[in-house]
Amino acid sequence: MNKKWKVGITVLIGLTVLSGGLLFFVFSKVGAFFDETYEPIDVPDAGEEEQETAPDGKVHILLMGVDERPHDKGRPDVMMVVEIDPKSDKTKVVSLPRDTKVSIPGRDESTKLNHTYTYGGTSLTVQTVQQLLDINIDYYAKVNMNGFEEVIKEVGELTIDNELDFTFDGYHFAKGELTLSPDEALAYVRMRKQDPMGDEGRNERQRKVIKASVQELL
């Protein structure tokens, strides 16, 4: 990975730092919803070089929100990598923009990151993320829109600080503190085209919902 990528990813990771114990608590509350989306995959490690340099004990989890529909495999519009460090009791979350240009393992071509799911499903997506970030992905969780709503229903209403006034899917989101129902939360994290920051702005709203979920569970 070149220096520019490393600096950019380091900045993104710094945007969100949560207690590792808190994130484990979240997973324990909503894990049942991910069980139905599990599929066993056979993915090689990122490489011997990574294994020699990776900090001992860190765990990496790929979270995917896939826009699946009947008879449509869909693509992961939401991708985040969670790094859990038991030694420091810290968890770092980095959003991976879906339009990130990546090289696909085993193919002589570059494409958008979320296209890898269409080409090779979860397995190829995991391999691509490993190659992009020079890490091993230990676990993954995949959920579609219905699954997201079920997760938020389990958590309950969320309170967030909204910085952009917009209307989407019949819901209006004014600036300031908002309390979101599960349906509103889904619309809130899906909107992209009205955001001046595009996918980056949507990623920021997704991180807000994750933080609010943790706070609500506490």
The larger pLDDT score, comparing residue 31 to residue 135, is at 135
Q: In CATH, what number does 147-217 get?
A: 3.40.630.190
Instruction: Outline which parts of the chain fall under CATH 3.40.630.190.
Output: 3-143, 147-217
| pLDDT one-digit tens code per residue, 155-175 | 888 999 999 999 999 999 999
For the cut 70, the answer to whether the pLDDT of residue 180 exceeds it is: yes
| pLDDT one-digit tens code per residue, 101-150 | 998 887 877 889 988 988 888 899 999 999 999 999 998 888 776 777 77
For the cut 50, the answer to whether the pLDDT of residue 55 exceeds it is: no
Do residues 66 and 90 make contact, with C-beta atoms less than 8 angstroms apart? no
Element (DSSP H or E) covering residue 101: strand 101-103
Q: What is the DSSP string of 139-183?
A: EEEEE-HHHHHHHHHHH--EEEEE-S-EEETTEEE-SEEEEE-HH
Q: How many CA atoms lie within 13 A of 61 on its CB side?
A: 15
* pLDDT level of residue 20 (50, 70, 90 thresholds): very low
Cut 0.85: pTM above it? no
Q: What three-state secondary structure class fits 110?
A: strand
User: In the CATH hierarchy, which top-level class contains the domain 3-143?
Assistant: alpha beta
